[in-house]
Amino acid sequence: MKFLDRPPRFLFFTGKGGVGKTSIACATAIRLADAGRKVLLVSTDPASNVGQVFGIAIGNRITEMPSVAGLSALEIDPQAAAQAYRDRIVGPVRGLLPDTVVKGIEEQLSGACTTEIAAFDEFTALLTDSALTAGYDHIVFDTAPTGHTIRLLQLPGAWSGFLEAGKGDASCLGPLAGLEKQREQYRAAVDALAGSQRTRLILVARAQQATLREVARTHEELAAIGLLQQHLVINGILPQNETESDPLAAAIHEREQDALQNLPAVLQPLPCDRLMLKPFNMVGLTALRQLFDGTTTTTEVAVDSPLELDEPNLSELIDEIAKDEHGLIMLMGKGGVGKTTLAAAIAVELARRGLPVHLTTSDPAAHLSETLNGTLDNLAVSRIDPQLETERYRQHVLETKGAKLDEQGRALLEEDLRSPCTEEIAVFQAFSAIIRESGSKFVVMDTAPTGHTLLLLDATGAYHREISRQMDTTGMHYTTPLMRLQDPKRTKVLIVTLAETTPVLEAASLQADLKRAGIEAWAWIINTSVAATSAKSPLLRQRAANELREITAVATQHAQRYAVVPLLQQEPIGVERLQALVGEQRLPT
């Protein structure tokens, strides 16, 4: 493994949910400990399953691993850290300020940025307190802070005054308001992150074009703030020997090889390791010690009983949706789970049934719109450019709120506008004009804002101001987008996930986030399921068996209704292939 050559003291693993960063971090910690080093493994992942991987309860305390000499682990609970952080800030003003103001502050502190900053607050000491970690040769972090969070921590120490003066619609600067005392410690932590002799960042991805594009963006964002010691690990590549008797395996292998050959240019200079897909779950020491083994033997892999998955398909969900004859259909989920493709498949099927449909997306892959354009009656397609809309929104805020700010205040406002929330706000404002059409037709919307962003917008009045401007409703009654989303008769929210542990946990967290905003998820869609195919490859059949637990969890614990969509041999692009996803006209998988 190239990323283990002359390893520095700090190793950070980062990547989207489901790419395997926890497994790789755990395997790395074991490899270093087996080599005689003293190692501390630290997880700050909200969906952490490090304890589950090792089969031992860890929690928020340093715990020695009895089965691995020299290895200890610590799971920082970012949700608990965030709640404790909120309590420290909100507690002193509770009862002194009006309830509506307190509620606004609490919502300001409920987003992903607060969780990440609170987690960073927890593990800062591990980077800076030499006495605390003096006994360890290496500290391995599962999940690194984003470039956005690191930039926030580098900003001038004027957050509280900036917010109190009302100079910004606080989205991410709010969480920083109570951190003034830790500024020196944060500065030392950020310096440690950027130190090439002490720190290495390992970007974890899958051999998929969308995932690799996302990793390329992460690489550029981190490199721009001085974190240059980066390695790339491409995980879960299907071995060629699995393709001999299985057309599905052959198609997957071909897609992955194409993605690897067309690696984004910015990633090509990075040192890169490739890990083969394993037939077993990464749980327990035996499995983890085999992760970096380049050979895979699958001839002895067997599934105890035939896989006869009999789960609802997408067609059954669309049957229920179609009964309403119009309405807003919103697809939500983490990046890389296939929201855009499923939105297109639902739109195509509704149009095929003779219903009027407007499919709108902010996905950068405009080829989907080009593929669909003019190919079906009843279907209109629009694409919103996120970069264009975000820049338009940023300029508007800078020209209004930023006009009278000094240099420091403007720097704070500009960083606030780099928040992930800003793009959600800008794109959704562009979507808001289209939403009105759902009173007379189906509007299928891909890429939706989180519940936190919706509440934040509503709390600041941005929705009402924007809708008033667009509709010229002075003195008239009107319905804001949030009110429409909260009405189950008008809106159906579909949460998209994969049949893997981390994506399911992340989807459950998103569902709770939406619930706080008064929005109930109507259904879940489990996408690209191997268990829903007729795979013949022993490795894929074992992977399919591994999916069954997650499918059961969705069906019994999380979803009111759900559908399982199979992994297809060919990329689902174009009307025919999109209809194959629906389930009524399945093509061979």
- Delimit the domains of the chain by residue range: 2-81+115-167+181-243+273-289, 314-582
pLDDT score for 159:
47
| Known catalytic membership, residue 45 | yes
For 374, half-sphere exposure in the C-beta direction (CA atoms, 13 angstrom radius) is: 1
If DSSP codes are grouped into helix, strand and coil, which group holds residue 28? Answer: helix
- CATH classification number, 2-81+115-167+181-243+273-289, choose in 3.30.70.270, 3.40.50.300, 3.30.470.20, 3.30.450.20: 3.40.50.300
Residue 98: CB atoms within 10 A of its CB come to 8
pLDDT score for 175:
53
| Known catalytic membership, residue 20 | yes
| Known catalytic membership, residue 103 | no
Q: What is the pLDDT along the chain (589 residues), one digit of tens a residue?
A: 899 999 999 898 988 777 888 889 999 999 999 999 999 999 876 556 677 777 778 877 888 888 899 999 988 877 787 788 778 778 877 888 787 777 777 766 776 667 777 777 777 778 777 777 888 999 998 876 666 667 666 654 544 454 455 444 445 555 555 555 566 777 777 777 777 678 899 999 999 887 898 899 889 888 887 788 899 999 999 999 999 889 999 999 999 999 999 999 999 999 999 999 988 777 778 888 889 986 554 444 445 444 566 789 999 999 999 999 999 999 998 877 888 889 999 999 999 999 999 999 876 554 555 556 456 789 988 888 888 988 988 888 888 877 888 777 777 777 777 777 788 778 888 888 788 899 899 999 987 777 666 766 665 555 444 444 444 444 455 566 777 888 888 999 999 999 988 789 889 988 988 898 888 999 999 999 999 998 889 999 988 988 999 999 999 999 999 999 999 888 887 788 888 888 754 434 4
| Known catalytic membership, residue 23 | yes
Q: Which of 79, 37, 38, 72 is nearest to 58 (CA)?
A: 72
Which of 18, 168, 333, 338 is labelled catalytic?
18
pLDDT score for 485:
83
pLDDT score for 168:
47
Which of 15, 16, 17, 21 is labelled catalytic?
21
Helix (H) or strand (E) holding 312: none
* DSSP 3-state percent helix, strand, coil across the chain (nearest 5): 50, 15, 35
Which of 14, 43, 45, 199 is labelled catalytic?
45
CA distances (Å), 218 to each of 147, 148, 190, 507, in order? 8, 10, 17, 21
pLDDT score for 369:
58
pLDDT score for 493:
94
Which of 14, 341, 502, 509 is labelled catalytic?
502
Which of 14, 22, 110, 419 is labelled catalytic?
22
- Please write down the HEC assignment for all residues of 169-225: CCCCCHHHCCCHHHHHHHHHHHHHHHCCCCEEEEEEEECCHHHHHHHHHHHHHHHCC
Is CATH 3.40.50.300 what the domain over 314-582 is classified as, yes or no? yes
| Known catalytic membership, residue 487 | no
pLDDT score for 240:
92
Which of 14, 15, 17, 20 is labelled catalytic?
20
Query: Locate tokens 């720097």: which residue?
Result: 411
| Known catalytic membership, residue 406 | no
pTM value? 0.79
pLDDT score for 527:
95
In this chain, the answer to whether the domains covering 2-81+115-167+181-243+273-289 and 314-582 adopt an identical fold is yes
| Known catalytic membership, residue 374 | no
Query: Locate tokens 């000491």: which residue?
Result: 125
Q: Which of 89, 146, 85, 90 is nearest to 118 (CA)?
A: 85
pLDDT score for 548:
92
Inter-residue contact 413 to 167 (CB < 8 Å) = yes
